[in-house]
Structure formats: C-alpha cells, structure tokens
Amino acid sequence: MNKNTKFLLLLAVISLFSQVVFAGVMKTGNPIRERENKGGMTESIAKKFVKLQEMVADSKNVEARAGLTALLAKRLNNYEKANVNQFLGWVDYAEEKYRSAGKYLQVAIDSDALHNQAHFSVMLQQAQIIAASGDYQKAIDSIHRYYKVTDEIKDSTFYLEASIYAQMEKYRLAIKALKKAIELSDKPVESWYYLLFNLHMQLSEFKQASQSLEVLIKLNPNKRDYWIKLSEVYFTLKKDDKSLAVLILADENGLIPEEKDRIKLFKMYAFLGVPFKAGNVLEKGLKSGVIKPSYKHWDDLGSIWYTAAEMDRSLSAYDEASKLASDGKIDFRRAYIYFARDDWSGARNALLSSLEKGGLKEKKIGTAYLLLGMAESEMKNTSSALKYLRKAVGYKNVRNSAAQWIGHIEKQVKDAKKRAEAERAMEEERAANEILDQ
C-alpha cells in the first residue's frame, strides 16, 4: 500500500472515531438490531480484559496478543469471545497484519453477540482493514452490507466510502458519497473539502474545484497552498483577474514569502499587462534576497522595466544581468536603451562588451558594428566610426545601411575639408589685402 493510500485511509479512520459529538447522521429506516446472543462479561474475565485493553492502549502488542490468545483458550461465552476477537483484530491491524485482523473481526461480527454500537463499529473497522490491504471493492461491499443493517449512518462513514472510491479512481462515486458526508455534517470539515477539491481536479472540473478551494480558504485562511491552488485554478478557467486578485490577497496576508511565490506573482502581473507592479515585486525580491540573484531574474527585471518605460531601472537591472552573462546578448540590448537616451558613450561600451563576450548571431554582429559606427560618428570620432562601418559592410543584413553611413560620413569629411580650404583661402586673401592696404 503506497503512502498516499495509507494517508487517505488514515484520515478516514480518524474521522470515524473523532466525530462522535459533532457527527451528523442519516436514519436508514432499517429495524433496530436485536443481537442473537445476549450474554455479558463475567467479573473475572472483565478484570483480565481491562488489563489487556491497557496493554493495547500502551502499544504492548506482543504481550497483549499473548494474553488475548490465552484468554480466548478459556471457557468464554459468546459475548466474551466476540470482545477478545475484536481486540485481537485491532492488535493485528496495528501491525499491518490485515488478513488475520480481518478474520478476527469477522468472528466477532458472526457471533452476533456485541452490543449495537460495538457491532456496527466492528463492521466498519473490518471495511477499513480490507481497504488497507488494497482490496477496495471488497471494502466497498463491506460498507454497503453495513448500510443494509444499521439504523443510522454517520457522515464520517460516507467519507470513508468516498476515500475508498477515490483509491479505486471511481471519482464520480467518490464525489457522490462525499457530498452526502458534507450535507450531513454539522460543520464543514477541512479534510473532506480537500478531498472534494482533488476529486474535481481529477475530472478536470475546475469550476467545482475552485468552489471547494473557496470553502477551504474560509476554513483555513492561513494555508498558503489553498491560495496558490485557487489562483492556478482561476487561471485555468481564464479568470485572470481573479487569479491575480487571489495572489495579491495572499501577499497582503504574508502567505507567499517564498521565492517561487514571488516569481509567480511577478509573472501574473506581467501577463496581465501591469509591468510597473511586476517590476516592483521582482526588484524587491531581488534586493531583499528572497529571490536569488541570477542572470535570468535580472534579465526579466530589465525587460519588465523596459516595458514600463522605466529606462533607468531597466538599465540598472541589465547592468546586473551583464555581470552574470556568459555571452553578449544582454549587452546588445543595453546598447539599444543607451541609443534611445542619446548616450553614445554608454552605447559604445555596451556594444564593445557584447562583441567581446560573443555568442551573437551573424546578423546581430553586423548590427553591432553598424551601431558602433553610428555611435562613434555622433561623438565625432570619424576614424573609429569608419572602421566599424567598414566592418559592418561585410554583413549582408546591414550592408546598405553601413554603406550609406560611410557615404554620409565621407561626404561630411569632404564638405568639412572644402569648408576648411575655403576658409583658409579667404584668410589668405584677407591677409594679402591687408598687406596691399599698407
């Protein structure tokens, strides 16, 4: 039996024996059972039995089994035998000896000697033991036999039935039984609604799953897992605004402090087109250390600030990403921001860094040389500008643009030379005229 099975059945068992006060019941209309053997326990046997019960309670199973077995060998009436067999069944169940436990309990049931409360309790215990052994259909059959003879059914019994159906992957039947338990219950039970949520998820019934989660959050508003799951289910239902709202409420209540939760909130803001708040979440997480600094996180922050038109913050984030980058792609993006700000020196440095780190595709290499030439030109570094632009000519995607820039710069140089020559000629003429005037 796997861990999930054990856990699920354990919840059902705990539910059965912890809801005596609050359990809701359904009257079956079956006649009140009259036991066939109406004997009681003698005083001497009762004293021994109490001591053995104490051993069972103290988990002294070896001693308890030996004592119960010895007691069973004595001359007992049917009622005493039924009680001894019941406790032997409990001892074996505690040690996961399900087959022998079931046999002992069946003897107790067949004796028809136990009082009603104990008799029906043993019937349910047997169903639990059968389920724990993995024979789920037989366990269901056992529960259904119980339904036919008991005069009332507790809500927790329907929960046990639902739990077993869940293990059989009969989710519709599980939901039917579980809803009976919920309807009968005097107050909502968290574990029942959690099972109901999981059953609806198994059937891809996301609307109903969200309704179960809404109840779970009311029952336990400090349970982080419920908020996260509800946000995810709303997102699956394409209720994006609700999905984000749930995360925001969870954040306001301090329920999503972990890195994965902060990143989820960041992504949700970004997905819904709220880049400024997305940037704030990610930036705060990185600066506080909740989100581990990494190339990707700084890159994401730079991108979202760029989308929010927060260029200073975008550059700051990209600068951090650049320190962790293994190639020049991030520096290439930084260069574009510097260009947009007419920061030619910053653009040049970013482009040189991108080329030095490498990893750029051929087209981007050509573009980098073109942009370098343009930046150098804006800074009046004609020689450097022409050097990079001539390199850019070697790349097909920017060849024409680079050639145009080269032509533009060369024309500027030529025009500047002509102006200089003209100015020099005018200066020489002026000087000559001054001499003549003397």
Q: Would you report the helix, strand and coil content of the chain in percent, each value rounded to 5?
A: 75, 0, 20
More confident call, 1 vs 148: 148
| Residue 25 belongs to some domain of the structure | no
Are 87 and 52 spatial neighbours (Cβ–Cβ below 8 Å)?
yes
pLDDT at 319 over 80: yes
For residue 1, what pLDDT is reported?
A: 41
Number of domains in the chain: 1
Are 389 and 405 spatial neighbours (Cβ–Cβ below 8 Å)?
yes
For residue 312, what pLDDT is reported?
A: 93
What is the rounded distance in angstroms from the CA atom of residue 64 to the CA atom of residue 43?
Answer: 19
SS3 25: strand
Domain of 380, CATH number, reads 1.25.40.10
| Residue 409 belongs to some domain of the structure | yes
Here the contacts of 227-230 (C-beta below 8 Å, separation 24 or greater) are 227/255, 227/256, 228/256, 228/261, 228/264, 229/197
| Residue 358 belongs to some domain of the structure | yes
| Residue 377 belongs to some domain of the structure | yes
Give the model's confidence band at 5: pLDDT under 50 very low, under 70 low, under 90 confident, else very high. very low
The string of pLDDT tens digits covering residues 109-163 is 888 888 888 889 899 999 998 998 899 999 999 999 999 999 999 999 999 999 9
| Residue 246 belongs to some domain of the structure | no
Q: Which domain holds residue 361?
A: 325-432
| Residue 87 belongs to some domain of the structure | no
Give the model's confidence band at 37: pLDDT under 50 very low, under 70 low, under 90 confident, else very high. low
| Residue 290 belongs to some domain of the structure | no
| Residue 399 belongs to some domain of the structure | yes
Are 174 and 14 spatial neighbours (Cβ–Cβ below 8 Å)?
no
Mean pLDDT of the chain: 89
The string of pLDDT tens digits covering residues 77-120 is 888 888 888 888 888 888 888 888 888 899 988 888 888 888 89
Give the model's confidence band at 356: pLDDT under 50 very low, under 70 low, under 90 confident, else very high. very high
pLDDT, mean of residues 365-380: 95
DSSP letters of 88-154? Answer: HHHHHHHTT-HHHHHHHHHHHHHHT-S-HHHHHHHHHHHHHHHHHTT-HHHHHHHHHHHHHH-SEEE
pLDDT, mean of residues 223-227: 96
Count the Cβ atoms, other than its own, within 10 Å of residue 432: 10
For residue 23, what pLDDT is reported?
A: 61
pLDDT at 437 over 80: no
The label of the residue with tokens 């600066």 reads 287
What is the rounded distance in angstroms from the CA atom of residue 80 to the CA atom of residue 52?
Answer: 13
pLDDT at 249 over 70: yes
For residue 10, what pLDDT is reported?
A: 47
Give the model's confidence band at 47: pLDDT under 50 very low, under 70 low, under 90 confident, else very high. confident
